[in-house]
Structure 1
């Protein structure tokens, strides 16, 4: 399959019909016309000459390689349409000034000129469709124009042609605005890099030629070509294209960089750790591009509905033309006129546009914030979520234990022994203890032996005396005083993991260790609840007391602790039975639960498996922008509902006006144009939403 760029594709209904025609070609069964991104996917065996002919009938064209001239054509196509509408309007205006001065045949020629200038493309397309008995908006407009001219309604026919031309221009303008916003987002990828050769020389290469292990130079103001690690140099780096964070991040040798981020100052020498196609930026762009054309259930329903809607309108128009004269003796001319107006009401464009512009705008707005929604269907689901389940470690907490409470009974030896024994351990809790300032200040005594007690802690001999560092189970040899027991129970009630230091006779002191809660977690829950999220649930493998401590601190509504990975999956399956559930996590053990939830959300600095499994990816290392994503999704869903209501509502009003015979051709097209303008403008407001 090969992907082509399309130009002149402004009508969603037309795009659907083009796809159906191409699918009828030999080898064309798998063809796709992607209206949102203006692309065409074809099998290599499909006859391109025939494809071009099909596209030409709807004013579209195929672009195999997009040149600057073709890009210019794409941008001027809408301007040309606008100019034609303006010229037609001026001619139409002139007829009012000259109607009592010039002969009638001159006025008719002026009307025909105005109709031809703004409506000739529609007329010819509609005429060809009529011959083939293919009924779409162009066919309906052509019938209406011919009918209006046939009964001598020159003014009405001209106004219909002008308003329809304006309608097409606005329809294309709205979609093009959303597309250009997306294209601007996709242009952040760097094109070239300066590679350092083994002999020290430099060469400029395309980013696709970079290999893992290559060293590149990145000057101030240049983009990092692919994911890499700083070999030398210090700088602040703008990661907004990847994470959506506007503030630059200071980077030093040994730290990782995202491809596509910008070096603000100084010269960096960077070792490439991923080829560009595997880089974070490439994944982002790939996900965003794929997301544009994944249709939501609402879009699929509208497309199915539109197939039956137009033929139904034609039947109604026929009945409006025939029944009133037969039943109520209404003049045939008046009924024929009303029937033509009903045909114009049959235009489904506003209805079909009700969803894609809003969806595309929502995906683009989220991507600007570093939130990757993998398709419109997931954006729609996000706006309907009622409950959110969070993994605790690394999601609500930083995943880095720290000492938060200390009880000492023999202070000097307590800190000295803790530092002397824990300095040889690679355990995360040992690292947390060594970060404690008073431990860092204590003297070191080298242990003569260190033995691990599985599942309990460490036994070590320091300066001829035996010491124990670990859980309560290392105290099997001691009679613990009541005051020490009380301290231990109090720390456990507070949810701390205990690290007890003792010798053969007494407890020297106790560290209370806990995973540090992320700063944004405290305000996050309140914001989510204010957005209509009813239940916030914490799922964790940690001890119940530890989980409850974190839950109290951040304000989640429900806690489920001591869960193994498979139990998390079972719990997610259970929770989603009662409400629409999103699951948020960052670790490899979260991937199954993310897949099981109605909607899986992964934090971007987590594991690749969680990111690949998730439906939505947060590229930040925090949840601060999650409420914005919910807000955007809810706004998009509300706009789509409004758009559908307005599109159908205005058509219903127009149809009801046929009962007293008040529906006119110009009002029918104005009703459709009004709906198109409304759905376009309100959909684009998503791009203007302010971030909290």
Structure 2
């Protein structure tokens, strides 16, 4: 595709089976003005490279009555009785019942009865026959081919009522399938519906309502209480509680005030806000989530790829089995009509609908449900990988901890008072951006300490600390290793005791002595310990913490959280090497980090999990899975969901194949009729779909 080539995305209404999706994709690719087309079955979208009208595209999908609209538009809701497929189904059902009644009155060979059955078949199965005969000519064997042969064969041997009944039941089956697939896609469509289609903006002193795609970066959006926020942006006026559950999965509203970031699709609950727009409608966080979820559903899981490959050989095998059953036994027993009938029944039973749909419907439902709960999983492959995770590795800072160090203890080793020492420390650190410096500055500010204006000969030493001359004396503020030759047993003992509690010690001293210091800790997140326990309960027994902190501090935090294994003093490449060594031993490992510093480690793990994707483009792009809020509790939920999904897929495949096998065994002794075969196929399809819909209930 060239850079300048026209690309359009459409939503599809009525797409109910993956084989139909493939056929539709092939048909669109045969349009001369289209260079490439791709159908995403899970999201029910079509991406077209080239120029094609909606009429051309709908013509390509006429075999399944598909309708299309541009991606950002909504389908016009029609009452069911106004839709053509339902009108055809209703009319053909009337003719079928008329045929039954006529036969009951005039006998089995009534010409009027046969006419009614033919009309019922032509009206209810017209699309089916057209596609089936086309496929037969092209030697393409799919569901429509099998059904067409079976129905025409039934008419050929005089089974008029059964042939017509098969058509009607097949149409009902497709209707139920379409309904259940739409339920599965409900999770994505609910995301699409979250964002308002219009926004109130103030421009040139005038307030007006405009479509969101006309809003520009820098425009001022006005959001009143009870309204949804239409665009991503920054609050420039007002204070309000905003419900962000649509983006982050958090149920508790967050207070937004001057300078805070807000997201499209979230709800302004009780205040007035003015927001300066920071992203266009196509680039908002919600738009990216929807796009990534839809792309995720197009990424096939390993089990789905296997089923697709299996179905490729399964359908021709069923056709061969039907021919053998119809031809071989009569050579030995005679009774050709009976065995031809049974062969036709094999064709109906052999339709691979339930089998082909068993996996994608579960993947679609699971990924959609996860997105609604603030967990973005980028494909079926990661969903399946997550279910098999044996080890979870956590970055410490900002993941298990809050990422904001705070002074917990002040240390004094001299007779100078705390305020004078704080004044020296704050003055030395006032120009530094280091997180530990910020912690000391905040601690001093809370005690109303004012720094001195001038520090003479100020120097910063990377990895050690800072120094400068105050009151004519050279002062040093930094790590204990910098003061190694001045450490007394008393000071060393104090430092060790704090480090064992997971705290970092910063010392203040002169060239002659140590004056005091600060014990600083990056406090663990409130729920980190609970999450570690929950992961153990769901069967993830090997949990390791990776950090660049020193060993004593790292072990102190790990002990508090209940983590047994710690790897400390690691640079980003060190984390990557450690995870690679785990992978090389065959262990399935997930890495949880912030998506920026931990990008190498996230990339090498089986599943890279980024924290706080809301507002972070890097996290959304680099990780395989994103926890949209800084909420680790979503991780055990995601693992449970992935395992539930894998169980559902296993159950669906077992049910689909098991019912097919049972039905095939019942055909040989003649215990299954054509229309009962359709019931078996329809039952299996509906059963696996509704079984997959159980995933919507996972919270």
In the superposition, the TM-score normalised over structure 2's length comes to 0.89
Residue number in structure 1 paired with 2:581:
574
Alignment of 1:496-535 (within 5 A): 496-502=503-509, 507-535=514-542
Distance 1:490 1:62, change over 3 A: closer
Q: Kindly indicate whether residue 29 of structure 2 is the aligned counterpart of residue 20 of structure 1.
A: no
2:389 counterpart SS class: coil
Alignment of 1:420-459 (within 5 A): 420-423=424-427, 424-426=430-432, 427-436=434-443, 440-441=446-447, 446=452, 449=455, 451-452=458-459, 454=461, 455-459=463-467
Q: Kindly indicate whether residue 600 of structure 2 is the aligned counterpart of residue 596 of structure 1.
A: no
Question: Is contact 2:63–2:128 with CA below 8 Å preserved after alignment?
Answer: no
Structure 2 distance, partners of 1:90, 1:350, is 28
How far did 1:590 drift?
A: 1.1
Alignment of 1:472-621 (within 5 A): 472-473=480-481, 475=483, 478=486, 480=488, 482-502=489-509, 507-577=514-584, 578-603=586-611, 604=613, 608-621=617-630
How far did 1:594 drift?
A: 1.4
Residue number in structure 1 paired with 2:368:
364
Question: Is contact 2:80–2:86 with CA below 8 Å preserved after alignment?
Answer: no
Structure 1 distance, partners of 2:484, 2:540, is 48
Distance 1:477 1:83, change over 3 A: same
Structure 2 distance, partners of 1:271, 1:66, is 23
Structure 2 distance, partners of 1:336, 1:35, is 36
Q: Between 102-111 and 493-502, report the one with greater CA deviation.
A: 102-111
Residue number in structure 2 paired with 1:142:
148
Structure 2 distance, partners of 1:60, 1:457, is 68
Describe the superposition over 1:189-242 as per-residue Cα deviations: whole angstroms up to 9, x where unpaired.
Answer: 233333334x53334444334444333322222333333222221111111221
Structure 2 distance, partners of 1:680, 1:645, is 13
Distance 1:415 1:667, change over 3 A: farther
Q: Kindly indicate whether residue 197 of structure 2 is the aligned counterpart of residue 191 of structure 1.
A: yes
Q: Between 387-396 and 497-506, report the one with greater CA deviation.
A: 497-506
For 1:667, which of 676, 681, 694 is the aligned residue? 676
Structure 2 distance, partners of 1:325, 1:625, is 62
How far did 1:41 drift?
A: 2.7
For 2:329, which of 324, 331, 344 is the aligned residue? 324
Residue number in structure 2 paired with 1:389:
393
Residue number in structure 2 paired with 1:221:
226
Residue number in structure 1 paired with 2:269:
264
For 1:342, which of 339, 342, 346 is the aligned residue? 346
Alignment of 1:392-431 (within 5 A): 392-410=396-414, 413-423=417-427, 424-426=430-432, 427-431=434-438
Distance 1:116 1:37, change over 3 A: same
Q: Between 149-158 and 305-314, report the one with greater CA deviation.
A: 149-158
Question: Is contact 2:34–2:50 with CA below 8 Å preserved after alignment?
Answer: no
Distance 1:479 1:433, change over 3 A: closer
Residue number in structure 2 paired with 1:32:
38
Question: Is contact 2:349–2:677 with CA below 8 Å preserved after alignment?
Answer: yes
Structure 2 distance, partners of 1:194, 1:126, is 52
Describe the superposition over 1:253-275 as per-residue Cα deviations: whole angstroms up to 9, x where unpaired.
Answer: 22222233222223222223334
Distance 1:32 1:490, change over 3 A: same
Q: Kindly indicate whether residue 327 of structure 2 is the aligned counterpart of residue 314 of structure 1.
A: no
2:632 counterpart SS class: coil
Residue number in structure 1 paired with 2:15:
9
Residue number in structure 2 paired with 1:172:
178
2:76 counterpart SS class: helix
Structure 1 distance, partners of 2:393, 2:664, is 48
Structure 2 distance, partners of 1:200, 1:45, is 41
Distance 1:420 1:610, change over 3 A: same
Distance 1:195 1:660, change over 3 A: closer
Question: Is contact 2:234–2:275 with CA below 8 Å preserved after alignment?
Answer: yes
Structure 2 distance, partners of 1:478, 1:64, is 73
Describe the superposition over 1:66-95 as per-residue Cα deviations: whole angstroms up to 9, x where unpaired.
Answer: 877x5225x738976567656666776677
Structure 2 distance, partners of 1:78, 1:374, is 38
Residue number in structure 2 paired with 1:122:
128
How far did 1:341 drift?
A: 0.7
2:298 counterpart SS class: coil
Question: Is contact 1:420–1:444 with CA below 8 Å preserved after alignment?
Answer: no
Structure 1 distance, partners of 2:415, 2:673, is 93
For 1:298, which of 293, 298, 303 is the aligned residue? 303
Number of matched pairs: 684
Distance 1:560 1:89, change over 3 A: same
Structure 1 distance, partners of 2:504, 2:101, is 89
How far did 1:286 drift?
A: 2.2
How far did 1:504 drift?
A: 6.2
Describe the superposition over 1:119-158 as per-residue Cα deviations: whole angstroms up to 9, x where unpaired.
Answer: 4442344344445544322222222222223333344334
For the aligned residue pairs, the C-alpha RMSD in angstroms reads 3.1
Distance 1:64 1:564, change over 3 A: closer
Describe the superposition over 1:420-468 as per-residue Cα deviations: whole angstroms up to 9, x where unpaired.
Answer: 432524332133234448x843765747635346243344555566654
Gapped runs of 5+ residues in structure 2?
Answer: 1-6
Distance 1:433 1:65, change over 3 A: closer
In the superposition, the TM-score normalised over structure 1's length comes to 0.90
How far did 1:186 drift?
A: 1.1
Question: Is contact 1:590–1:610 with CA below 8 Å preserved after alignment?
Answer: no
Question: Is contact 1:405–1:511 with CA below 8 Å preserved after alignment?
Answer: yes
Structure 2 distance, partners of 1:587, 1:166, is 48
